[in-house]
Chain A
Amino acid sequence: MMKLQEGLNKLIEIEANSLPESERKSEAFKERQRLDKKIMEMTIPPEKAEYDRRGTPIIDSDEEREKHHLLTFDEIEVQRKAIEGMIRKSVDRPYLARAKDLAYIGIPEPMEPEKRPEKALELLGDMRDDFRSLMLSVDICTKCGACVEACHTYLGTADPNNAPVGRVDLLRKIYKRYFTRAGRLFGGFAGGEDITQETIDLWYKYFYQCNECRRCATFCPFGIDTCEITIQARQILTKLGLVPDFIVSVARGMHHVGNNINIPPAAYADTCRFLKEEMKEETGKDIPIPIDQEGAEVLLNPSSSEFFVTFDSIKGAAKMFYAAGTSWTLSSKILEAANFGLFFDYGVMKEHNNRLFNEAARLKVKRVVAGECGHGWRTWKMFSSQLSKPLNYPVTHLEDEILDYLRDGRIKVDKSQNPLPVTIQDPCNMARACGYIDQPRQILRAVCEDFRDCWPRGDRNFCCGGASGLLMDEFMYHRMMFSKPKAAQVYNTGALILAAPCAICKAQLPNTMIYWQTGATVHGIIDLVGYAVNPFL
């Protein structure tokens, strides 16, 4: 495995090659090198027993790697080439959605650029009256700078507008100018700035470079939450018709076939059949993956990527429910936990939420279990009751479910199925928004032989860099830069498996792990549970 320092040097080399000779000596470039060193220092754990590093086993034959559920070297090479190709074509702001796509999900088409500033002001006024968090965040910042180096986007790009205070300042300047007395009287002297088309352009650029991970809120002495500003600013941009194509395509998929990545029902039904056969081969048992089964005990709401990329997750869930003897079902109307509405439009978010409500009623299930998705769980846990209506059945998370089964002895697990060192990613919305910090660790300690906690951990963990719907291919360069701290963290644990209980993490982190050459393979927590229950089926 390559040392991260070497990985970082490689990055510096890539960056330097993409820049003209003159900029390589620029202050900004030096700042990036300084931050790279800072990232290294930040992720070295304190000298405590629980962070003890016992070296990394070397597994270099492909058969053995496959046996341990690691990516083979060929797979790594193919993916690395793909990532580098995407990085070469990267742009600094996501492609805009087309008007007809917006119309499909009920969003007004893009306005003419001249009319945008005026409309944006009107919308900002509405937002101010509707969201206390927006106004408080804008009003009370003292610009102490405590958040600057807490933000992984700043650590990765050294762009001052990517520091939380800088990002909010893009909006704060406009707010001060038009919505405060001082700003109206003194303008720039009181920190105000006139709104122009360029402002809107900067909003689009930088609010779509925020991962809404809330790490800044944890570090801010006042608890100012940049995520709130980003959410509100993106709502404004949406109403101006400025939404990334990727996010709209996801929302369209949801609208159209009930999942984010546009898998038609016939395709995932086929996938389920295939997975059942595979599990039959592995275990010799008929393990069902039921779809639309009325009267089941549990409605599982997984992420659709589990039927497309990370098959082990849905297999793990199927095996666990089978082992526990719980009747469960999927719904063809909503095969998706991830609620992209949170990232650009409250209307879409609400519709998605209502869909799950209606499905649970239609299938007459006893409870809904949310699958591995960070922001989807945040929307469910924190927002449902205000967004839709109070629930008349319990909704739990898959992690709660696993812990319950383990506690009651309904499933047995064999640690030796997961002998490799495992570390954990705390998805931002799981840890910082929902407080799921101990649960995943309890599970991993139960199902893995060598669990190594990462540093910083829990609510201070770094974001994967793809959160808030920034998983677009054209954004690959920024995604990789944003996930620099995450890679350093994983590298410093020496783990070969990174357990990430979130679909977005599972989509983003494999790229990160390959690009930064940490040598780790990404799995969901439920994957590892699935491997561990295997011998007892």
Chain B
Amino acid sequence: MYGLLFFIEIVLFYIAVIVFGVGTVYRLWYWLQTPVPLRINLAPAKTTWKGVTGKIAAEVLLFISLFRNDKWLWIGAFAMHVSALIALLGTHFFGVIDAGIDLWTPYTIPGAKTFIYVFACFAFPLIAALLFLLIKRIVTRDVRRLSIATDYIAIGLVLAHVIGGTYMSFFTELDMGEVMKWGLGLVTFQPYVVTVSWIFPVHLFTGFSLFMYFPFSKLFHPIGQISNRWTMTQKETELIAGGRCVR
């Protein structure tokens, strides 16, 4: 049992970091080293770099094309991504910062626990949105026909990870001291295995799986979106006197 826990909590962590880092860099590099022989702007094209950046930002941050097209899908997708971002950053990073401050400084952040609870509450809209998207995929005739196993694997993994996290936040009392020791152990290469909780390694397993799966699957789509938009949203230059003609 200890061996399995050691593998999930320690070995898998290092594997996931390497696979994630190398995979992401490799895939992005492979995309960007491939030439774009012809300009494939999608109109209306912007004329300034400010405009181009603004357009890409609106697409990446607000999914503006989707908003104009399919309101229901936009609601599902936007709710899912925003609550995922808040829940992920809020619970994990804020939790780590809070625990670190507790551990090393004489200070505490007032109301930190409440904050983490509030962040963790975003897991509920996240689960709802994920289920909504899953049901939409199954119900829509043509999307169902085109969906393959990996589409369901991706959504299932995320759901499992979020449900595990929610259970940990609301239904168990996780010893943050133990978690900090584990984290420090990873950074200082002095492995420390958390053995007091069963849900913690399960949550870690789904999390690391997602990390490793990320660069090789459709989960990579945010980075793909930026690359694709960048390819298609170039500045409209005076290639051949467009607009007012020269006499």
Which residues of A come within 8 Å of B, CB atoms? 31, 128-133, 135-137, 139-146, 148, 150, 160, 163, 165-166, 169, 180-182, 188-191, 214, 217-225, 228, 366-367, 369, 380-387, 391, 394-397, 400-401, 404, 431-437, 458-459
Contacts and interface: CB of A to CB of B under 8 A. Distances in A.
Contact of B37 (A131, A144, A394): A131
B185 to A, nearest CB: 32
Candidate in A150, A222, A396 with the most chain B CB atoms within 10 angstroms = A222
Contacts of B70: 146
A400 B244 contact: yes
Given A142-B218, A225-B232, A381-B239, A219 B65 contact: yes
Candidate in A143, A219, A369 with the most chain B CB atoms within 10 angstroms = A143
14 contacts: A133-B36, A140-B220, A140-B228, A142-B221, A144-B73, A146-B69, A217-B42, A228-B40, A367-B241, A382-B239, A384-B239, A384-B240, A391-B240, A400-B245
Contact of A160 (B30, B145, B218): B145
A462 to B, nearest CB: 14
Contacts of B232: 133, 217, 223, 225
A17 to B, nearest CB: 26
A140 B224 contact: yes
A223 B42 contact: yes
B151 A143 contact: yes
Interface residues of B, number: 60
Given A142-B218, A166-B142, A219 B228 contact: no
B93 interface: no
Contacts of A385: 239-240
A367 B227 CA distance: 36
B38 A383 contact: yes
B149 A140 contact: no
Interface in B215-243: 216-218, 220-221, 224-225, 227-229, 231-233, 236, 239-243
A143 B140 CA distance: 11
Given A380-B240, A381-B239, A431-B43, A145 B216 contact: no
A136 B218 CA distance: 11
B231 A132 contact: yes
Nearest to A349: B38
Nearest to A431: B43
Interface string B34-65: 11111111111100000000000001000101
Contact of A382 (B39, B68, B69, B218): B39
Q: Is the interface of A mostly helix, strand, loop or mixed?
A: helix
What are the 10 tightest A-B residue pairs by CB atom distance, in nearest-first order? A140-B224, A435-B43, A394-B241, A145-B143, A396-B245, A221-B66, A191-B148, A132-B34, A395-B240, A219-B69
A431 B41 CA distance: 11
B158 to A, nearest CB: 12
Contacts of B65: 218-221, 223
Contacts of B149: 189-191
Nearest to A149: B70
Contacts of A139: 31, 220, 224
Contacts of B32: 132
A382 B43 CA distance: 11
A56 B146 CA distance: 44
Contact of B241 (A137, A387, A396): A396
Given A133-B40, A160-B142, A221-B63, A381 B228 contact: no
B240 A222 contact: no
A459 B44 contact: yes
Contacts of A191: 148-150
Contacts of A219: 65, 68-69
Interface in B183-212: none
Nearest to A438: B44
Contacts of B35: 130-132
Contacts of A366: 247
A160 B59 CA distance: 27
Contacts of A150: 69
Nearest to B237: A385
Given A221-B63, A369-B245, A400-B245, 5 more contacts: A132-B31, A144-B143, A221-B65, A382-B38, A394-B245
Contact of A136 (B148, B150, B231, B244): B231
A38 to B, nearest CB: 13
Contacts of B218: 140-143
A133 B144 CA distance: 26
